[in-house]
Amino acid sequence: MSHILVTGGAGFIGANFVLSWLAQAGADSVVNVDKLTYAGNLKTLASLDGDARHIFSRSDICDRAALDSLLKQYRPRAVLHFAAESHVDRSIHGPADFIETNIVGTFTLLEAVRAYYADLGDAEKAAFRFLHVSTDEVFGSLGPTDPQFTETTAYAPNSPYSASKAASDHLVRAYHHTYGLPVLTTNCSNNYGPYHFPEKLIPLMITNALNGKPLPVYGDGLNVRDWLYVGDHCSAIREVLARGVPGETYNVGGWNEKTNLDVVHTLCDLLDELQPKAAGSYRDQIAFVKDRPGHDRRYAIDAGKLERELGWKPAETFETGLRKTVQWYLSHQSWVEDVISGDYRNWVAKQYAA
């Protein structure tokens, strides 16, 4: 049985990837490595309980011995690296975790994979890939009329989070050029969709709206992001893994530039349609709050290389993807409540105690 190893596979994007990967007929088994920090949630993967193709290991990517053991035992044909601290606000208040996970963790993983790769046979080496999942935030901020980020845009990270991801990207590149490790890097725009931790913009707005709480919008709400439905991101990663050229980077975007205020207005209008309030609109709950420090004004991804070279483009528009997302949250309120209350962490503790 062949395997792939996925780090951070209980987080938002990683878990969506694991679920979509194992939904494919004849897919490799997944060795899922996750530390289960606040954003790692095994309940997201509950549908895989009892599935022998999903092998979960509660391990830290900074634990070299654990990584060596897993690589030796399962001999994966690919490693997909999703694990990261990813919330800008958290990085502003506590950057140390971001340095540890995103830089030291990526270094430790690369060292383990380098040693593993060195012992592979020629055919296994030719087939092996290390795919590093990164962000558009490493490129910094754009002006209103600046061209979109391409794969050759200079790095200019502006937050501890984006700086730590930029460092991890540079390490991955260096391990290809110095050691010959067959790496692939993807830089994606803002993801949204099912199982998103409710402190990020879209799930936070949905959750607060339904609970009658204010919908906090930073500054004037005119910061622009390119929005990518997580299912589209997962399909792009599969394409890059299958046909990407080692050493290359690929931007993954949704071609959906929206201001934060546009996103919140669209969400409110969808909720007004799908679960209307007794009186008024959810827009009435919008509250502008003090902007966060160093808030980048605009991100925009040019995903043309991925379409030209690998034939990938997103299947969802922002409107179709957001409708699917809102419908998912409306029908999975118990998942949201478990996260908000912390019960999902208690569940993990009980599982491991047992």
| Among the listed residues 5, 27, 6, the one whose alpha carbon sits nearest the alpha carbon of residue 77 | 5
Which residue type, as a one-letter code, is found at position 55?
I
Active site includes 74? no
Exactly one of 34, 85, 136, 232 is catalytic; which is it?
Answer: 136
Name the residue with tokens 């969506």.
Answer: 16
Exposed/middle/buried for residue 96 (C-beta within 10 Å: 0-12, 13-18, 19+): exposed
Judge whether 24 and 99 are in contact, CB under 8 Å.
no
Residues contacting residue 157 through CB under 8 Å, at least 6 positions apart: 137, 138, 139, 140, 163, 165, 166
How far is residue 117's CA from residue 120's CA, in Å, rounded to a whole number?
5
**Three-state SS at 131:** strand
Tell me phi and psi for residue 249, to 5 degrees.
-115, 150
Active-site hit among 137, 169, 232, 257? 137
Q: Is 352 in the active site?
A: no
Q: Which of 136, 99, 122 is nearest to 254 (CA)?
A: 136
Q: Determine whether 179 is an active site residue.
A: no
Query: Which residue of the set 161, 250, 299, 344 is catalytic?
Result: 161
Q: In which element (H, E) is residue 286 found?
A: strand 286-289
Q: Which residues are catalytic, by number? A: 136-137, 161
